[in-house]
């Protein structure tokens, strides 16, 4: 992967993380930087998964199937991290 490819993957990952956070209902008590890290990881894993199941191909334009997998993985990641982070913050009535 070239430097341009890595920078592009990071930018796409940041956007994927933001979209994943928007998809998850409710308020997430986690920092935005953690959401972006989850987005970068989800973008990379989504690409691997899409290639593994044959969705991702060398097509011109946006690969909507790959993008959908990436956003779903980001949403799951955000929900899991927000759920685990929320367990440590119990408030008394």
Per-residue CA distances from 34 to 4, 14, 63, 73 (Å): 23, 10, 26, 14
pTM tops 0.95: no
pLDDT at 55: 78
Residues 6+ apart with CB under 8 A from 74: 16, 17, 19, 20, 21, 23, 38, 39, 42, 43, 46
pLDDT in tens, 13-68: 788 878 777 877 777 777 878 878 888 888 888 888 888 888 766 667 777 888 88
Q: How confident is the model at residue 1 (pLDDT cuts 50, 70, 90)?
A: low
Taking the C-alpha atoms of residue 93 and residue 88, their distance in angstroms, rounded to an integer, is 16
- Mean pLDDT on 54-83: 78
């Amino acid at each position: 992967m070239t430097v341009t490819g890595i920078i592009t993957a990071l930018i796409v990952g940041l956007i994927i993380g933001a979209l994943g956070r928007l998809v998850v209902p409710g308020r997430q008590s986690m920092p935005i930087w953690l959401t972006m890290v989850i987005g970068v990881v989800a973008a990379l894993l989504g690409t691997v998964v899409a290639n593994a199941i044959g969705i991702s191909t060398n097509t011109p334009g946006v690969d909507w199937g790959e993008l959908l997998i990436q956003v779903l993985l980001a949403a799951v990641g955000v929900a899991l991290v927000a759920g685990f982070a929320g367990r440590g913050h119990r408030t008394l009535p």
